[in-house]
Structure 1
Amino acid sequence: MNSMKALSVIFIFFLSLVTFSSGDLIEDVCGTSSDFKVCIDALRADPKRCSTDKKGLVRILLQQCSTKANSIYNEVASLLEQAKEHVLIQCLQICKENYDNAIDDATSAIKYFDANDFLAARTSTVAIASAPDTCEETFNEPPVRISPIKSKDDDFMNFIGLTMRDLIEDVCRTSSDFKVCIDALRADPKSSSADKKGLVHILLQQCLAKAKSIYNEIVSLLEQAKEHVLIQCLQVCKENYDSSIDDAETAIKDFDANDFPGAMSAVSDVVSAPDTCEETFNESVKISPIKSKDDDFMNFINLTASLINQFGN
């Protein structure tokens, strides 16, 4: 497990490989990682550390990644030999095929890294994430089966998520709200294997989820409301959020189809729900019971729109 977690530090070093220090090289390398102790333990456990430079230390971690992928593949193969139940066999077969690909991706990552093609190395490492991700999805689909390698898949996905930490930060630095963006993306496990477009897709999915959540809250408030003006205001909010759900779905569809102007237009329509809702309460001089959620939603939509706009330029 330590060797896999240690790989979380790999790509944090890519831009600093030409920098050297007169101090302990391993501590220099691990000092820039996201998990100092795991990094230190992993590198000091490898005898090759004594005769290598900074790039060599990162390569050691990549080798450990390849070893871990092979280990999980072999465990899946062993489980397949023992399995009797048809659905379990199908699930394990899918896992085996995906981990077979993951081994190839790990090999490619090392090859690209050795050639100083760090972007391609990171792309290959991201591709590895499809193995644990697809494996666990297979077990979770009906008929549901308990995954016998869930803890190892989760560790592997966690590693990929940490390796992609820099990409998430890069994306969120260009948004209109860095902290909200970071928190939203890191809360979604799929961000671990997503490229930039995939990260924005995740934000759009969260826009849709938020719109549905606020709509349901408005419906609940309407059922409890007694005062005539409050009912009118909530009814306007309900109608607008109903439309915003359709707009959010359209935005996702257009964005996935690379129709970025269409996605921007649909996202702009989504924001009319919280905007119109709050205007209605202000005109009626009523305190909005969902003001904080409307405000948060508008901010979230705006940060998502700021990222979509980059694809159209």
Structure 2
Amino acid sequence: MGPNSVFLSLFLLSLTFTILLPLYSSSSLPTQNSTDLISKTCNQTGDYYFNQTAAYDFCVASLESDPRSSSGDVSVFVEILIELASSNVSHTYPYIYQLYNETSEFVMKDRLSVCLKMYESMGRELKEAHYSLSIKNYGGVIDNMGYALDDTVTCAEGFYEPPVRKSPFSQQTSVLEHLCRITLAIDNILVKGSF
């Protein structure tokens, strides 16, 4: 991922946060202890991510964007990331649907059709991941986030199949992929029971 892709991904993530932040109280800012836990937690994301520095920065920005991160609880971090991924899906799906309805070119319509199915599936999987987290079934979180990640990759890779087409929402899909990967890495802390 080049510097422009990272910048654009972070821009899209900040746009997502702008949408989500009004939903939460902004009265609590991360404390030093929660900042230390965020840092320690995000350092674990390199195990599941191809670029540890980008993963760490993306993880910290994602978690610190939500005032609930100040609670200093790893399960809250996973919840925040699942909700960010869900928000991404719920904002991107209507855009894909609109593109699908407006596109007459067969190959592009086919690619969009696959992505519509994958995003529908991701919506269900993210709800299941959230439910699994609520009952402390951390293995269920891993399963459902893994399925969501697979769906994200399936959608993205479809545009690279011949004849190649440029995805009109590749940045949203990239952000979603990063959120899934980071959530998997952090949820693994809960599965192991420790850092």
Same fold (TM over 0.5): yes
What TM-score, normalized to structure 1?
A: 0.48
How many Å separate the matches in 1 of 2:134 and 2:83?
A: 11
- 1:201 paired residue number: 79
1:250 touches 1:263 (CA, 8 Å); kept in 2? yes
Indicate yes or no: 2:110 matched with 1:241: no
Q: Which of 281, 290, 305 is 2:159 aligned to?
A: 281
Q: Is the 8 A contact 1:244 1:272 kept in 2?
A: no
Distance 1:173 1:281 in 2: 32
- Post-superposition offset of 1:190: 1.5
Partner of 2:67: 189
Shift of 1:297: 1.7
Structure 1 runs, 4 residues or longer, greater than 3 Å off: none
Please name the residue that 1:232 is paired with.
110
Q: Note if contact 2:84-2:179 (Cα within 8 Å) is conserved in structure 1.
A: no
For residues 200 and 282 of structure 1, the distance between their equivalents in structure 2, rounded to whole angstroms, comes to 31
TM-score under structure 2 length normalisation: 0.74
2:100 is aligned with 1:222 = yes
1:180 maps to 58
Query: What does 1:1-313 align with in structure 2 at a 5 Å threshold?
Result: 154=27, 157-158=28-29, 161-163=30-32, 164-176=34-46, 177-283=55-161, 284-313=163-192
Pairwise CA distance, 1:222: 1.6
- Contact kept? 2:63, 2:69, Cα under 8 Å: yes
Q: Note the C-alpha offset of 1:299.
A: 2.0
In percent, how many aligned pairs have the same letter? Answer: 23
Q: Deviations over 1:264-311 (max 9, x none)?
A: 111111012221112222224222212232223212211110111122
Paired positions, count: 159
Q: Distance in 1 between matches of 2:91 and 2:151?
A: 13
Q: Which has the higher contact order (CA 8 A, sep 6+)?
A: 2
- The Cα of 1:261 is off from its aligned counterpart by 1.2
Pair member with larger Rg: 1
Q: Secondary structure at the match of 1:212?
A: helix
Structure 2: gaps of 5 or more residues: 1-22, 47-54
Q: Where do 5+ consecutive residues of structure 1 fail to align? A: 1-139, 141-149
Distance 2:129 2:181 in 1: 13
